[in-house]
Structure 1
Amino acid sequence: MPDIKHILVFRLSAMGDVAMTVPVIRALVAQYPTIKVTVVSRPFFSPFFEGILNVDFFPIDLKERHKGFLGLYRLYRDLRKSDIDAVADLHNVLRSKVIRSFFALGGKKVAFVDKGRAEKKALTRGKNKIFKPLAPMVIRYTRVFEQLGFPVDLQQPIFPLPQPLETAVKAVTGEKTGKWIGIAPFAQYASKVYPQELMQQVIRQLAGNPEYRIFLFGGGAQEIAVLEQFAAGLTNVKVIAGTLKLKQELQLINHLDVMLSMDSGNAHIAAMLGIKVITIWGATHPYAGFLPFNQPMDSAIAADRERYPLLPTSIYGNKQVEGYEAVMESISPSVVVKKIEEALG
């Protein structure tokens, strides 16, 4: 084992990408109990790492202290006080390159993630597409620690046990009875969002079973307004968005029996907690490596490639192809409901 006792892990965004680091870091410190890890990320993500032994969280301040190049140098000086031995750059963007370069100049070992950009381009291009599964992002993260001398085995993942719900959470959810289903119907880009009228059908079909209690996740006034429409008139459907803090949402998610999500952050949050996740994919595809951690490929419901052979057309959903605006409509609400019911056993 290398003479490394303290590893700095750098991953600032996006929410799903940060959530995917959690099972890897949890496995790392379990398999190497003498190692200490300090995670540098945005303050909002701090609850993701709470309760993991030997893991500290360092909130980056991009608005003031750590803003700009001089701010990054301040960040390096702040972190250097913690006796860092090595840097695992799980982001590999300009900011993280600057930080790891400072540490490398100081004689520390550094390693960074290979995002597989060329492979992803081949998967999404229109001509000469190479349609095959790429390495999952969590595996790409493990390769970074392997470069530092710490191979990580994800075959027997560790997940936190559900903790009793806080009074404030229970006031929203009530006592748990029957099956609890989470639904997160939004994503950053429209090409990753299941049409509202179809999602409404999914929710109404599920709500027809009195044994189910359905919780709707999202954020912001616009999304909350849509969720309120989804829940209207359904006594076993509850809008969670805007009512709980992130730490409380994590507590609730850890009590779910299944989460339905788009290709978005909520899918990865549920997966990092060991919850079954059903995902819906439009312009993107799980072959790009973003299938939620420890979930089977058949938990992903993808748009019809026979009707839309150019899929996937985007890695992140930010690129639309003419004529492919309605690919999500090739996924029937009954297929989604059936997949959820199968997951519930």
Structure 2
Amino acid sequence: MASPVNILILQFASIGNVVLTSPVVRCLKQQLPNAVIHFCTKADYQPLVLHNPYISGRHYLDGNIVELIRTLRAQKFDYVIDLQHTFTSRLIRTALGVQSFSVKKQSFRNWLYVYFKVNALSEQHIVDRYLATVQPLGIENDGRGLDYFIPYKDEVEFDWLPATHQNDYVAFAIGGQHVTRRLPLPRMIELCRKINYPIILLGDKNDRKVGNAIVKAIGERQIYNACGYFNINQSASILKRARLVFSHDTGLMHIAAAFRKKVYSIWGSSTPQFGFYPYKTPHVRLEAAELGCRPCSATGADECPMKHFKCMNTLSFDFDVKELRTKKKNFE
């Protein structure tokens, strides 16, 4: 019997980035004989990897990197796959001292695009760049897209939701790590009115105030504010049952893609050209593509550097949601 091949994957960046690594995890496990996959991420992201059946070992960074490295060394890994390529991940793989493979970043090209609007990006989705990282091990893209695994205890039951939203609804992920990646409140209200269908708002407790304002403006018959009420796996369960999904550029957008939902993705200061658009799922990009000041950031900021925030304030909602056309509802 061949010896196991112990592989460690590193990714600490965000919820979305962890979800976007799932094809690498699956392909390594299924295509490399005797692969034993370990995953290392932030402690906050434990629910994202805890129930993945392709992962055998899970390790979490919770402030003490020295203790983490000591724990990882004891596993005697054969390979380290660094899918973040930052100071922290470089420190860990250097300390482990085994053969490693690191994702090729586009930092200089990103800089050119943000500051000089010169788009020299590779047009390659980040998932494909992740998978290119493990090609030296003989791994190929199986074309199956993203994975997300929800434990049974976190599957949201119908009666956990209001009667108006139990059987058929649109999910709207209203959160976003930075202000310039989120629609302003009046524009969220405008979008919800256009959708004119039962909507479940998703986000964390920090988004609840905005969600309440949307409910106040439109009414509980159409809007259910679930922000802060459900954990990440329960929110994933709500996405899984949604007719379709509207989302800012967030982790929930990528979780929706894992369930092959049609996603209407909303883009402000950043752009899909950075390679983080919904992967292998039908999607519509809502963006003010003609603005010369975009992108002003690859990751987002706390305010518009030009002070006008035109990327979100002038974003057109002149589109047809064909999936709702035959079942349009009037909440007036």
After TM superposition, the score normalised by the length of structure 1 is 0.82
SS at match of 2:39: strand
Q: Distance in 1 between matches of 2:152 and 2:297?
A: 40
Which has the higher mean CA deviation after the structures are superposed, 184-193 or 170-179? Answer: 170-179
SS at match of 1:36: strand
Contact 2:125 2:276 in 1 (8 A): yes
Q: Distance in 2 between matches of 1:160 and 1:326?
A: 34
Contact 2:173 2:202 in 1 (8 A): yes
The answer on 1:218 being equivalent to 2:203 is yes
The answer on 1:198 being equivalent to 2:184 is no
Contact 2:38 2:55 in 1 (8 A): yes
**1:284 offset after TM fit, Å?**
0.8
The answer on 1:36 being equivalent to 2:36 is yes
Q: Which of 229, 237, 241 is equivalent to 1:251?
A: 237
After TM superposition, the score normalised by the length of structure 2 is 0.85
Residue in 2 aligned with 1:188?
Answer: 177
Which structure 1 segments of 5+ residues have no match?
none
Deviations 1:3-35 (A, max 9, x none): 871210011122211221123322332333631
Q: Distance in 2 between matches of 1:198 and 1:291?
A: 21
Which has the higher mean CA deviation after the structures are superposed, 43-52 or 258-267? Answer: 43-52
Q: Distance in 1 between matches of 2:153 and 2:316?
A: 35
The answer on 1:112 being equivalent to 2:99 is no
Which structure 2 segments of 5+ residues have no match?
328-332
Q: Distance in 1 between matches of 2:13 and 2:149?
A: 26
Q: Distance in 2 between matches of 1:225 and 1:158?
A: 31
Residue in 2 aligned with 1:228?
Answer: 212
RMSD: 3.0
Matched-pair identity in %: 20
Letter aligned with residue 193 of structure 2: R
Deviations 1:38-72 (A, max 9, x none): 11112232222244333035242423xx2xxxx43
How many residues are aligned here?
321
Cα separation, partners in 2 of 1:248 and 1:83, compared to 1, 3 Å: same
Letter aligned with residue 173 of structure 2: A
Which has the higher mean CA deviation after the structures are superposed, 138-147 or 26-35? Answer: 26-35
The answer on 1:153 being equivalent to 2:146 is no
**1:132 offset after TM fit, Å?**
5.6
**1:341 offset after TM fit, Å?**
4.3
Q: Which of 97, 102, 111 is equivalent to 1:121?
A: 111
**1:87 offset after TM fit, Å?**
0.2
SS at match of 1:88: strand
Q: Distance in 2 between matches of 1:125 and 1:227?
A: 34
Contact 1:103 1:110 in 2 (8 A): no
Q: Which of 288, 307, 313 is equivalent to 1:303?
A: 288
SS at match of 1:268: helix
Cα separation, partners in 2 of 1:126 and 1:168, compared to 1, 3 Å: closer
Q: Distance in 2 between matches of 1:289 and 1:145?
A: 18
Letter aligned with residue 100 of structure 2: V
Letter aligned with residue 112 of structure 1: S
Q: Distance in 2 between matches of 1:162 and 1:75?
A: 27
**1:169 offset after TM fit, Å?**
4.5
Contact 1:163 1:251 in 2 (8 A): no
Q: Distance in 2 between matches of 1:57 and 1:300?
A: 37
Letter aligned with residue 81 of structure 1: A
Letter aligned with residue 316 of structure 2: S
Q: Which of 87, 91, 97 is equivalent to 2:90?
A: 97
